[in-house]
Every structure is written in C-alpha cells, then in structure tokens.
C-alpha cells in the first residue's frame, strides 16, 4: 500500500472512531491506539503534502446531530497541538512565564453573561457550530446564574462529571450492560439532553479555563489574572500553576502524582503563555493556535504474560472477555486483569495464552492491553456459556463482534434479575442475598418471580440445606409474605425493565393514575408525553411488555400481589414548589421519609440546587457545603427541619 492509500485508510479509521466516541458514546479503540494512528497520519501528511478535506488533522469535534438549536461561534474553537515530552514543554515556553493546568476530559462549553445574568450557553460542537444548552447549563451544580460584573462576559470551560458522581450513578443501574462506560460519555449525553431535568440529575460541574471577552476589565495582560478574576465572580476555575522552563518538570510531577486520586476526569495538561498579547501575536495554523500546547501523559508500560481469558456473563446474556495476566506494577498499583471489551478486539490483538503483552493504564487509571508482542492467536471462543453451559452465539453489530448466551433462563441472568427484584427500592425482601438466590435457582426452587411466593413447596429441602434451618426459612418466608402488599411503581422497577428506575416508574404510574391495564399497554407516543420519559426509555418499556413471555410472567406475578394505590392527599399545599434535602435529619426518619412527605403534599424534591429550587433543607445552615454555597449564591432560602415543620407542618 502506498502512502496516499494509507492516508485514506487512516482518515477513514480515525473518523469512524471519532464518530463512535463523540456521537454514539461508544469506544471502538483505545486512546493509545487512536493517538498512534493519528501520529502516523500527521507524519504521512507531512511527507506527502497530501491532506484530505475530511482528515481529522483539519477537522475537530463532533458534528451537530441533535435537535438542540444551533449557534455559530464568533471565531473557530481550535484544538491544541500535543506532546508527551516534558522537554518539549520547556522548549515551547522558552523564557516566557506560562500557565500549566489540567486538560479536563468533558465537554467544552461557552457561557455568555449580560448585566450579571447568564444569557447563553453553547457547546463547542465541531469548533464552528455548537448547540445551545442554556436551560441545561442552568442546572449545573456549581455554575453562577448571577454575577457581580454587569458588563458583557464570554468565557469557556469544561462541563464534567466527577468520578465519584459517575460511580454513584452507575451503582444505581442494576443492568451491567446499561452502565455508562466513562464520565466523559455520560457528561456529553447529559449536557446535550432535550430535558434539562435529566441534566440536573447527573451532577454536572463547570470548570472555567478561559476568558474570551470581558469589556472594561483590565487583566494586566495575564491569563492567571483572568482566572483569578473569574474566581472572584463565583466560578470554579481549573487548577493551575504558573511556571517557566526551570519549574516545568516539578509542576508536571505535581500533577502526575495528583491524578492518581483526582476526582475530575483529565487526560493530560495544558500549557498556555501567560502573556495574552504575546500568545495572540503568534497566530495559528489551520487547526492549532500557537499560544498553547497540550501535554498527554506518557503511559507507563509494563510487559507481562497472558495467563487466561475469563469469560464473564451478565444478566443481559452478553459474555465479556477479561484478560488475566501475571501481576505488574503500573502507576503505583499492582494490576493483573483488564477488560478486552469484545471479540473484535480479541481478534485484532491476536491474543493467545502465554503471549507476551504490554499493558498500561489509560489516563493513568484504567488497565488496558496496548500491544501483543507474540500474537499466537490461540484463544478459543467458548461455544458454551461459562455459567449454564448453553450454546453461545457471536453477534456482529456494525463490525463489532460480541459473544452472547442463547439460554433465556441462564442463571447468570436470573441471579441479577432476582437480586434487583428483592432489593430495598423494589420488593424489599430481606434475607435473600445473591448467594441464597443462586442456591435456590440452582436447586430449581425459583425460575420466575412468582415462584418466590411459593417457597413453602420446598420447605423441607430448604431447612435441610447446609447453612439454613427452620429459623432462616421462616424469616425468608415472612419477608416474602410481607412484600405482597406493594405499590405498583415498586413492581415496575423490580421486574427489571431496561432504563426504568424508581423515579421513572413513579412518573409512569402517576401519569396513568395507577391504572394497571393502561400502564402495561402504554405506547411509545403516549409515554414520551410524560415529562422525564425520553424516546429510548419509552421504546425499551414498550419492548418489555410487548414480549409475550415477559407479559405472561408479569401477569402471573401480579396475581400474587396486593397492589396498593396511593391515596392522594387533598392537601396539596406544596404543589409547584421544589425542595433540595441535604445533611442528616432528626425529625424525619431519613431523607426518603421527608421526600415522601413533600411529594405527598404535591411538592417536588430534586438532588441539586438550581434557580428553580424554592428551599434548601439543611439542619446545618452555616455549613460550607457546595449546596449551601449555591443556595446563597442564588438567594435561595436555607431552612432547617424545624423551620420546615413550622412553616409547612408535619
């Protein structure tokens, strides 16, 4: 293949990877592989002088495809050139004072303020045309809606979701395959929602990193001064250090040590000349401005030997390959396993037992296989499920191969399904751990949800099972009997309809006035009219009840239950009011109890403070928590439980 043909091939591969990553929230190749191919393309373009119009070296960002309004930026938002060498950072800054900061891995957003109020928020988009997300931006956790400066202000920053919030959101999703892959993808989807209430629930933060315009403000020609001024206006700014070539190495080491436990997703650092006028005087290339450069971590590699591929089954039937290798030290921790994601990657790497592989931590965090040195390709794709020994099938979705168990009744699927069913927010059945459920499934006591209500058929067998006894049996049966009296929204959540959580189940039940017949026969067109229910969620819901087997099992389950319809309190004194509850409580049993009380009176409880919040309930009014700060910033009253009870009753 000649160089020009290789350029065409690389452009196609890289554009497909970018499309998957930015628009579909899918990762079809590692960052390491993308960078390697990108660098090869840059080299070939320099050698041949051939640069295709659709080359990723001249086109940046995602194409606008959503239904959000479009906005053309006043000037193109270009990406930065990059390096992995500290010496290149030193050479870049020369004798100039510069600012070194995190390169945050989220979604770039441009904010505009006028007369002290946020009036516009736009995504970076493709660098020239972005999407208007003003309503969504107003729900970001830490964004100031009003500032003291009354002139025209335009600034840039990164919308991000912290790892701690990302993990919390994923923990609430029972289906392993429905979990979000990384904070960046979750943030991108959250920021670009058509329903700002969904954005509000995702705990998006905004970290400012550049002032574009602030009429009448003298920044002494300094980027560092600009960022300090933004802090005085209430913005959270990117962590930074002012450096020169002599202090560069120490500063990079500071960030390198910190990223190990850093809660903000970051894929490197950014170096900018502090002298604004000097930086602008350097101009730009077709793609890169010359006033800054990005530094990407040089991944610490380690050679090791592949010991086995573990095939991990999930409740949806997907069987994921996991590489198990001889333990190695990476970024200060010992690692011995890494997800290989799918069969296509297994084949591309030509993995085989005993192969010498190089491994690294993507962004110094997630273990990945970088290269297979020996490529024996002797991995045998299992034709039997590792859990139930049923036939497996390979599916090919747009060139990505995945392995699936064909057995609808595979215990791997059932254990997770039953675990969700008995959980506290679902049917709330105490005493049925995953281990116990697995034993009952393996013994044939339970095959579908209704079987839990007939465990008395196996009383003798259960009592005589090692680790059980009559007391254990009685406790379980009593807990099961207690669960028969239940609200319909808990049942909808319990049966594991994809993407339907407790809150969404409540929305659906309330919309149909808890009419079971209407609820199970709802159409997509009807469901999407419910505030908070989107197209994908509605489609999955209808798909679940359209499946004859699912519907038959659901109907049999309903016969075992005593469905309670909530009484509507005639006192709707809190209707139209929105509350946020934080901190420990003394008058109410817990936050859920207070939330239930507020909802019973027609009010609404959300997870984050926004301009729509009427009251923040916190027994520690003087707390310096982020919610208190945000409430004070927005002039939202902060009240204690006692104040709430005095004002609204109990």
Token pair of 649 as six digits: 């009753």
- Tell me how far apart the alpha carbons of residues 317 and 407 are, in angstroms, rounded to a whole number: 8
Q: Is residue 103 flagged as an active site residue?
A: yes
Q: Check: CB of residue 308 under 8 Å from CB of residue 352.
A: no
b/e map of 303-315 (b: 16 or more CB within 10 Å)? ebebbebebebbb
Token digits of residue 374: 């020996």
Whether residue 584 contacts residue 538, with contact meaning beta carbons closer than 8 Å, is answered with no
**Which residues touch 504 (CB under 8 Å, ≥6 apart)?**
532, 533, 537
Q: Where are the beta strands (DSSP E) in 406-506?
A: 485-487
Nearest to 62 by CA among 188, 209, 243: 188
**HEC sequence for 27-92:** CCCCHHHHHHHHHHHHHHHHHHCCCCCCCCCCCCCCCCCCCCCEEECCCCCCCCCEECCHHHHHHH
Distance from C-alpha of 115 to C-alpha of 152, rounded to nearest angstrom: 7
Give how far Cα 454 sits from Cα of 468, 515, 557, 564, Å: 18, 27, 11, 21
Phi-psi region of 499 (alpha: psi -120 to 50; beta: other; left: phi over 0): left
Q: How many CB atoms lie within 10 A of CB 200?
A: 24
Catalytic entry in 103, 361, 413, 627: 103
Annotated catalytic residues are: 103
């Amino acid at each position: 293949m000649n160089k020009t043909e290789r350029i065409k091939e690389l452009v196609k591969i890289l554009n497909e990877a970018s499309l998957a990553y930015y628009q579909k929230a899918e990762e079809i190749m590692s960052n390491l592989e993308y960078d390697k191919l990108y660098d090869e393309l840059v080299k070939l373009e320099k050698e041949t002088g051939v640069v295709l119009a659709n080359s990723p070296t001249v086109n940046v960002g995602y194409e606008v495809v959503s239904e959000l309004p479009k906005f053309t930026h006043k000037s193109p938002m270009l990406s930065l050139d990059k390096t992995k060498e500290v010496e290149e950072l030193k050479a870049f800054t020369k004798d100039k004072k510069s600012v070194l900061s995190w390169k945050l891995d989220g979604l770039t957003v441009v904010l505009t303020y006028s007369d002290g109020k946020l009036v516009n928020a736009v995504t970076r988009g493709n660098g020239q045309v972005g999407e208007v997300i003003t309503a969504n931006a107003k729900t970001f956790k830490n964004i100031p809606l009003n500032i003291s400066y009354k002139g025209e202000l335009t600034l840039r920053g990164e919308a991000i979701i912290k790892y701690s919030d990302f993990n919390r959101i994923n923990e609430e999703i029972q289906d392993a395959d429905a979990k979000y892959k990384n904070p960046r993808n979750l943030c991108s989807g959250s920021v670009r929602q058509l329903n700002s209430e969904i954005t509000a629930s995702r705990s998006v933060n905004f970290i400012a990193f550049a002032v574009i315009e602030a009429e009448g403000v003298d920044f002494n020609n300094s980027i560092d001064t600009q960022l300090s001024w933004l802090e005085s206006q209430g913005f959270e700014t990117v962590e930074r250090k002012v450096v020169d070539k002599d202090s560069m190495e120490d500063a990079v080491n500071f960030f390198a040590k910190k990223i190990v436990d850093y809660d903000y997703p970051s894929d490197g650092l950014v170096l900018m000349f502090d002298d604004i006028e000097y930086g602008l005087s350097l101009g730009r290339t077709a793609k890169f401005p010359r006033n800054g450069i990005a530094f990407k971590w040089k991944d610490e590699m380690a050679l090791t030997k592949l010991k086995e591929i573990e095939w991990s089954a999930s409740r949806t039937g997907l069987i994921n390959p996991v590489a198990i290798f001889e333990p190695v030290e990476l970024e200060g921790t010992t690692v011995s396993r890494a997800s290989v994601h799918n069969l296509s990657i297994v084949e591309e790497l030509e993995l085989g037992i005993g192969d010498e592989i190089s491994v690294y931590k993507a962004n110094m965090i997630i273990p990945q296989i970088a290269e297979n040195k020996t490529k024996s390709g002797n991995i045998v794709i299992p034709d039997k499920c590792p859990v139930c020994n049923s036939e497996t099938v390979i599916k090919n979705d747009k060139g990505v191969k995945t392995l699936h168990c064909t057995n609808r009744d595979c215990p791997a699927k059932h254990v997770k399904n039953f675990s969700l069913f008995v959980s506290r927010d679902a049917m709330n059945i105490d005493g049925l751990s995953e281990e116990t459920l697995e034993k009952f499934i393996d013994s044939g006591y339970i095959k579908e949800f209704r079987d839990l209500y007939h465990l008395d058929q196996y009383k003798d067998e259960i009592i005589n099972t090692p680790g059980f006894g009559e007391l254990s049996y009685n406790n379980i049966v009593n807990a099961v009997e207690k669960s028969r009296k239940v609200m319909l929204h808990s049942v909808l959540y319990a049966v594991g309809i994809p993407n339907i959580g407790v809150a969404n189940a409540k929305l659906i039940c309330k919309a149909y006035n808890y009419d079971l017949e209407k609820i199970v026969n709802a159409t997509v067109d009807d469901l999407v009219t419910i505030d908070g229910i989107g197209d994908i969620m509605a489609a999955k819901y209808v798909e679940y009840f359209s499946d004859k087997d699912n519907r038959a099992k659901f109907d049999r389950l309903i016969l075992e239950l005593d469905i309670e319809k909530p009484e509507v309190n005639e006192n709707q004194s809190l209707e139209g009011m929105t509350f946020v509850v934080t901190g420990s409580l003394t008058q109410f049993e817990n936050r859920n109890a207070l939330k239930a009380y507020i909802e019973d009176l027609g009010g609404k409880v959300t997870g984050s403070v926004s301009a729509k919040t009427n009251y923040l309930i916190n027994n520690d009014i003087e707390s310096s928590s982020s919610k208190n700060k945000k409430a004070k910033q927005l002039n939202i009253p902060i009240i204690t439980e006692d104040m709430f009870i005095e004002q609204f009753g109990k």
